């Protein structure tokens, strides 16, 4: 079973910083970029995300998948605060050979990345 959840970035994270963007390579072939069904190249953005858990700040490095004709992080310097447009989290069951659920796999996906550094505002304050 697969579940997708839309994420309200401003309410979920206190900050999201872009670390870098790389082509997503095809499994078993580090030289071939993966593409979506429609032929659009796939990318992976590495991000540092901060959120509050149990009243304390927590930080995680997350990889977010994107599909774009050109590098979605182009012209965004590493360390720049960003907003993820159409950001969602997916959760999928992991099963063993006997079809028993052994855990879950979590993945992140976004439609685009936009710098919020120019305005100095948090994503909730940026006009869409």
Residue 70 sits in a domain whose CATH number is 2.40.50.140
Which residues in the chain come in under a pLDDT of 70?
Answer: 118-128
Identify which of 19, 15, 47, 18 has the alpha carbon closest to the alpha carbon of residue 124.
Answer: 15
Residue 127: predicted pLDDT: 44
Euclidean distance between CA atoms 128 and 113, whole angstroms? 13
Whether 12 and 5 have beta carbons less than 8 Å apart is answered as no
Range of the domain at 116: 2-125
pTM over the 0.75 mark: yes
Structure tokens at 123: 């994503």
**DSSP assignment letter at 127:** -
Residue 2: predicted pLDDT: 78
CA distances from 92 to 11, 75, 107 (A): 24, 33, 8
Helix, strand, coil percentages for the chain (3-state, nearest 5): 5, 60, 35
Identify which of 23, 27, 55, 58 has the alpha carbon closest to the alpha carbon of residue 40.
Answer: 23
Whether 30 and 57 have beta carbons less than 8 Å apart is answered as no
Residue 118: predicted pLDDT: 64
Number of domains in the chain: 1
């Amino acid at each position: 079973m697969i579940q997708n959840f839309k994420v309200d970035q401003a309410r979920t994270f206190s900050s999201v910083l872009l670390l870098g963007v790389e082509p997503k390579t095809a499994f078993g072939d580090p030289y071939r970029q993966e593409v979506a069904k429609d032929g659009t190249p796939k990318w992976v953005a590495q991000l540092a995300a901060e959120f509050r858990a149990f009243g304390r700040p927590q930080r995680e490095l997350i990889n977010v998948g994107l599909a774009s004709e050109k590098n979605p992080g182009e012209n965004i310097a590493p360390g720049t605060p960003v907003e993820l447009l159409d950001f969602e989290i997916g959760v999928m069951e992991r099963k063993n050979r006997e079809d028993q659920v052994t855990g879950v796999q979590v993945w992140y996906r976004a439609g685009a990345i936009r710098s919020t550094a120019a305005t100095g505002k948090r994503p909730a304050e940026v006009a869409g």
